[in-house]
Structure 1
Amino acid sequence: MSHGTTPATDTADAPPDGAADAADPAARTAARGRVVMLVDNGVKADSRVQKAARSAARAGWDVILFGVSPTAKIQTFRLGGAQVRLVPKPAHLEPRRHELRHPLLRRPLAYRSQQLARYRVQSVKAWRSDLAFRRAAARAARAGHPGHHAGGSALRLLLPRLLARALNSWVRLRTRQTAALQKTRAPLTAPVDRAATALWSFLLGERAWRRLTPNLWDYELAFAAHIDAFEPDLIHAHDVRMLGVGARAAVRGRAGGRAVRLVWDAHEYVPGLPAPHGRWLPGHIAWEKEHAAFADAVITVSPPLARMLQRGHGLRELPSVVLNAPVMEPAADEVAEAPPVPDLRKLCGIGPGVPLLVYAGGISPVRGVDTVVAALPALPGVHLALVSVTPRKMKAVNGARRAAATAGVADRVHFLPYVPHWQVPGFLAAADAAVSPLQHLANHELALSNRFFEYAQAGLPLLVSDVRTMARTVRSTGQGEVFRAGDTEDFVRAAKAVLADPGRYRAAYERPGLLDGWTWEAQARVLDQLYTRLLPDRPGPPHIR
């Protein structure tokens, strides 16, 4: 939920030297080992990655975190003792192969690309505009105005005008064909596309990503030199794309005589992800399958996903679980410039006696927020705070605003901005209950989200949909009520039960040790123990030396 507050620095021509601006030599000598973390985003909106980098550095590891720069320049900043370097990642292999071929067989009249179609349309417009200018100049000249040489008689311009009109019709026909071709090509689900995908998967197996999703090479080509320059002892690869980048870097280091260890941090179940096109999933699954074999250890976000990963990749040991739990003891530099925790009820404009539900996170159909908004007419006087406002997602927020207006509850739905991740439990605690209305998707079934743990640390009764892992947990702890995903009437039932007796559900958090295990501090110990096991000859963490 945090979007980070650490400023970044652009570096125009910085060399790919991951170690160049790390800690000073004396500090690096005392460090327990060099750790490279890899993530395929800009870091600032990824609280799990931020927490992992900070806690590893605090435990004495020399950490550099590589992410993707949003600009064409390298950006650097620090997260506590960890250095962050955002690297530009060109997308030269992003165009799919068929987009580079002539469309003769599918749409013989289509242009080779949308870019060429746009160029042709604009060039014809320019020609017709110029002919219109020349006719106007001729009329103006006949009226005695200057510029006779730029014009032309109506007869002289007749043939060019007829040709331009004909060419305009031809270009527009081809442009429509190009748009139709793009619509057919984009999903990669036409029979010929499915046949090609199946053929490459059969012929190449786990190497099929080279044909199906060659753009994965772009990550390797962007990061390889930076990782190698740092000469890591351990590589921590966050999620599937960086698994391959980390595995290849580890193999290069091992071939060079260094015993580089690789940790794969699997945030999600790849086969359960929504796919932008028909080759995305088979390509990424093949990439994951090929590179998982190089990992010395695997960590993930829940026990069910750990078991699936072990079975799916034939792992020798069950992956360790590092939950997406919140930080309860933020570092001094994190809180130094942060504003005080906002007053949730004040931002909503309501007093302490008004029933208030809260939802934190992104708004999209699969998040199920529409179920909660649609239930409000049946919950008189109940307000809903949606902590979801971010400049990058205003389209979704505006859609929720319209839904609230349509339901006649716009005055009871409040849209609030994010706060830093360490402030979330304190910020949300003023509500009466928290909602997690996720729809049934594979990854929703498998894990407890960071929102779940933030709600719990806020001491809030929960209203959760019946996605498997979260529903099972809530039923076992008694911290809330479960409703059928997408079922407005069942949500109303659950909400009325919770709001009628919130103390009953809050009491669940008094169980000894429950909340203590749901903190990032507890998860950081699991992570450090794993690093220590992989590098047993290194000194212990600073606090026990």
Structure 2
Amino acid sequence: MEREQDQHSSARVVHITTVHQPFDPRIFYKQLASLRDAGFDTHLIAPHDRTEQVQGISIHALPQPTARWRRIAFHPTAFRMAQALNADLYQVHDPELLPVAFLLREATGARIVYDMHENYRAKGPIWGRALRTLERWAFRWVDHVLIAEASYRSIVEDGPVSSTYIPNYFRPIGDARLGAPAKAGHTPTRLLYTGTLSASRGLRTMVELAARIRRAGRPETIDLVGICRYEKQRAWAKARVQEEDLNSILSRVGWDTYVLPSTMPPYYRRADVGLALFEPHPNHRDSIPTKFYEYLHYGLPLICSDVPRWRRFVKQHECGAVVPPGEPEAVLDVLDTWQASPEQYRKYAENARAAASQYRWASVGQRLVDRYRSLLGDGAPERHEGT
């Protein structure tokens, strides 16, 4: 099983997920791509339809489960795949994989990194508490924790583990050319939402927004670009679209199929406004949605739910407006204001583009590479690096 490696070969790193798609932007296009570019031998074990190499990253396919308990059933397979790769470092992206990581540590002696994407404590009193307990157990033995949000520091700072802040900033995927800046007098009519769709992420609000647009004979259209994994929610939305005759207003791209990030840029370029009309779920309060950074890159003013942290972000950059969660009429009020004052809309679009440079992946990717080199070299990592 021992892998031949001379002094000039690169360190092998293996990322493992049973939850995320193989082309998840953070995992594949940001973290693994940065490590590949830095010369690491990069591998990903993830649910996929085939084992292949894509853009220099080796993908090792797990079956694609349809439920959480079935994901857990594939953990032994993930362990065997990972052990056979005999990596220098393993990184897991899901808390439920931490026991697999522990076994890999015992079996191989490799370094172990845990990437904390989400505050799982907010998933409810039973499952959320179980995941948090699992994380706290792992903090006693993992070599390092990456945190996607600065607010997650409070979760790890009292433990013995070191951490690095790796925010989910924007990295161009596919043809990320910018669209033309908003012209004087231009009024926004093309609304866009990208990413996973669900009721907690504003699906109901956006469908009801489309219904109000249709009834009032307004000019706006809405593109929903992403997957909705909940069959009941898809059925509800489909029924509302048919009932209200919304097909000319509401476009659904992906819907029951994962949308590759590389296919999304055309939707950004033709949009006028980026939407994030989330419900006030606890897991949304302490994080900035990745879509904010994407909207800024393409010069799209935001209309988002009035979550305190989001409100501060929008106010800081003067790049949009906040509305009460679950109130589509408030979205129409904002659009009425921008259509009556196109210069205000244009100012927000310009501010969005100007702010985008603060949220690029390049510096963060280098931080990740430096941390990997430290973990695999002689240097000991500093605690809680990054701001």
Question: Shorter-chain TM-score category?
Answer: 0.7 to 0.9
TM-score (structure 1 length as normaliser): 0.58
In the superposition, relative to structure 1, how do residues 421 and 389 fare at CA in structure 2: closer, same or farther (>3 Å)?
closer
CA contact (8 A) 1:474 1:481 kept: yes
Alignment of 1:505 onto 2:348:
yes
CA drift at 1:532 = 1.7
**Match of 1:191?**
none
Distance in 2 (CA, whole Å) between partners of 1:366 and 1:233 is: 39
| One-letter amino acid matched to 1:87 | L
Query: Do residues 246 (structure 1) and 124 (structure 2) align?
Result: no
The structure with the greater share of residues assigned to strand is 2
Q: CA deviation at 1:438?
A: 0.7
Note if 1:66 corresponds to 2:35. no
| Rg larger in structure | 1
Q: Counterpart of 1:413?
A: 250
* Equivalence for 2:328: 488
Q: Is 1:359 aligned with 2:202?
A: no
Mapping for residues 53-452 of structure 1, pairs under 5 Å? 53-68=32-47, 75-88=50-63, 94=69, 218=73, 220-254=75-109, 260-273=110-123, 279-305=126-152, 307-311=153-157, 314-315=159-160, 317=162, 319-328=163-172, 355-376=189-210, 377=212, 380-388=217-225, 396-407=233-244, 409-417=246-254, 420-452=260-292
CA change 1:476–1:381 in 2 (3 A) is same
- Contact residue 46 and residue 61 of structure 2 kept, 8 A: yes
Matched, 1:41 2:19: yes
Is the Cα–Cα contact under 8 Å of residues 16 and 46 in structure 2 kept in the other structure? yes
CA contact (8 A) 1:389 1:397 kept: no
**1:222-269 CA-partner distances (Å, limit 9, x unpaired):** 233332232222221112122332233123333xxxxx3221100111
Asked if 1:536 is matched to 2:360, the reply is no
Relative to the length of structure 2, the TM-score reads 0.80
The answer (yes or no) to whether the contact 1:388–1:415 under 8 Å persists in 2 is yes
For residue 39 of structure 2, give the secondary structure of its aligned residue in structure 1: coil
**One-letter amino acid of the counterpart of residue 358, structure 1:** L
Distance 1:87 1:406 in 2: 40
Q: Is the CA contact 2:317–2:351 (under 8 Å) kept in the aligned structure 1?
A: yes
- Deviation per CA, 1:413-470: give whole Å up to 9, x if none: 2223475414534431222211100111122112222222211111100001023433
Partners of 1:502 and 1:18 in 2: how far apart?
60
Contact 1:326 1:421 in 2 (8 A): no
Say which SS state the counterpart of residue 54 (structure 1) adopts: helix
Give how far 1:488 is off.
2.8
Deviations 1:192-240 (A, max 9, x none): xxxxxxxxxxxxxxxxxxxxxxx95x45532333322322222211121
CA spacing shift, 1:510–1:84, aligned 2, 3 Å = closer
Structure-2 separation of matches of 1:405 and 1:88: 35
Q: Which residue of 2 aligns with 1:474?
A: 314
CA distance in 2, matches of 1:395, 1:388: 18
Query: Residue 515 of structure 1 aligns with which residue?
Result: 356
Structure 1 residues 354 and 450 mapped into 2: Cα distance closer, same or farther (>3 Å)? closer
**CA distance in structure 1 between the aligned counterparts of 2:273 and 2:53, rounded to whole angstroms:** 36
* Contact 2:166–2:368 (CA under 8 A) maintained in structure 1: yes
Code of the aligned partner of 1:50: F
Q: Deviations over 1:488-515 (max 9, x none)?
A: 333333333344431121121354xx42
For 1:139-192, what per-residue CA distance to the aligned partner results, in whole angstroms no more than 9, with x for missing partners? xxxxxxxxxxxxxxxxxxxxxxxxxxxxxxxxxxxxxxxxxxxxxxxxxxxxxx
Q: Is 454-463 or 363-372 further displaced after alignment?
A: 363-372
CA deviation profile, 1:82-121 (whole Å, cap 9, x unmatched)? 2111235999x959xxxxxxxxxxxxxxxxxxxxxxxxxx
CA distance in structure 2 between the aligned counterparts of 1:409 and 1:69, rounded to whole angstroms: 34
Contact residue 464 and residue 481 of structure 1 kept, 8 A? yes
3-state SS in 2 of match to 1:448: coil
Unaligned runs of 5+ in 1: 1-16, 20-24, 96-214, 255-259, 344-351, 539-545
* Preserved CA contact (<8 Å) 2:221 2:250: yes
- Secondary structure (helix, strand or coil) at the match of 2:293 reads helix
Structure 1 18/222 Cα, relative in aligned 2: closer, same or farther at 3 Å? Answer: farther
Q: Per-residue displacement from partner, 1:470-499 (whole Å, max 9, x unpaired)?
A: 332112111110111112333333333344
Partner amino acid, structure 1, of 2:271? A
Distance 2:353 2:364 in 1: 20
Q: Distance in 1 between matches of 2:374 and 2:338?
A: 45
Note the C-alpha offset of 1:523.
2.7
* CA distance in 2: counterparts of 1:279 and 1:416, whole angstroms: 34
Deviations 1:366-385, CA, capped at 9 Å, x for gaps = 11132233235267523232
Check whether the contact 2:13–2:43 (CA below 8 A) recurs between aligned residues.
yes
Distance 1:289 1:419, change over 3 A: closer
**Distance across 2 between alignment mates of 1:29 and 1:365:** 52
How many residue pairs match? The answer is: 361
The 8 Å contact of residues 89 and 219 in structure 1, kept in 2 or not, is answered as no
Quote the Cα distance in structure 2 between the aligned partners of 1:267 and 1:498. Answer: 35
Residues 298-340 of structure 1, C-alpha deviations (whole Å, 9 max, x = no match): 11211112x23224x62554x322222333265xxxx8xxxx9
- 1 CA distance for matches of 2:209 and 2:227? 25
After the TM superposition, which of the residue ranges 448-457 and 376-385 deviates more from structure 2? Answer: 376-385
Distance 2:144 2:222 in 1: 40
Code of the residue aligned with 1:503 in structure 2: it is R
Q: Secondary structure at the match of 2:248?
A: helix
Quote the sequence identity (%). Answer: 20
Q: Quick one: higher RCO (CA 8 Å, sep 6+), 1 or 2?
A: 2
Inter-partner Cα distance in structure 2 for 1:90 and 1:493: 43
> Superposition RMSD on alpha carbons, in Å?
3.5
Aligned partners of 2:16 and 2:44 also within 8 Å: yes
What code does the residue aligned with 2:42 have?
V
Distance in structure 2 (CA, Å) of the matches to 1:425 and 1:67 = 25
